[in-house]
């Protein structure tokens, strides 16, 4: 984690440790976010799954493959 003198105020979900981080953060490659609050960061994987599902449905509709 970094000791940034001017830390980002957002909340992040660490995909490697499965922990929520705030102020001091791990490597950005391991993080999802920023989120506005801790609860949103804790739901990061659920949010990502839903956004992926919606994007996949939009891709299928665009391609004319409405299953």
DSSP string, the chain: ----SS----EEEETTT--EEESS---GGGEEEEESSHHHHHTHHHHHHHHHHHHHHHHHHHHT---
Answer yes or no: is 6 within a domain. Answer: no
The whole-number average pLDDT for the span 27-56 is 96
Per-residue pLDDT at 21: 96
- Give a yes or no: residue 1 inside a domain: no
In a domain, 5, yes or no: no
Residue 65 pLDDT: 78
Q: Which domain, by its residues, includes 44?
A: 11-63
Look up the pTM and report it. 0.76
Q: What pLDDT sits at residue 4?
A: 67
The answer on pLDDT for 2 being more than 70 is no
24 pLDDT above the threshold of 80: yes
Judged against a pLDDT cut of 60, whether residue 37 lies above it is answered with yes
Task: Answer yes or no: is pLDDT of 67 > 70.
Answer: no
């Amino acid at each position: 984690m970094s000791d940034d003198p001017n830390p980002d105020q957002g909340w992040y979900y660490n995909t490697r440790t499965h922990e929520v981080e705030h102020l001091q953060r791990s490597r950005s490659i391991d993080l999802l976010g920023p989120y506005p609050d801790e609860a949103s960061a804790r739901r990061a994987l659920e949010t990502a799954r839903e956004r992926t599902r919606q994007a996949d449905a939009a891709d299928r509709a665009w391609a004319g493959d409405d299953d």
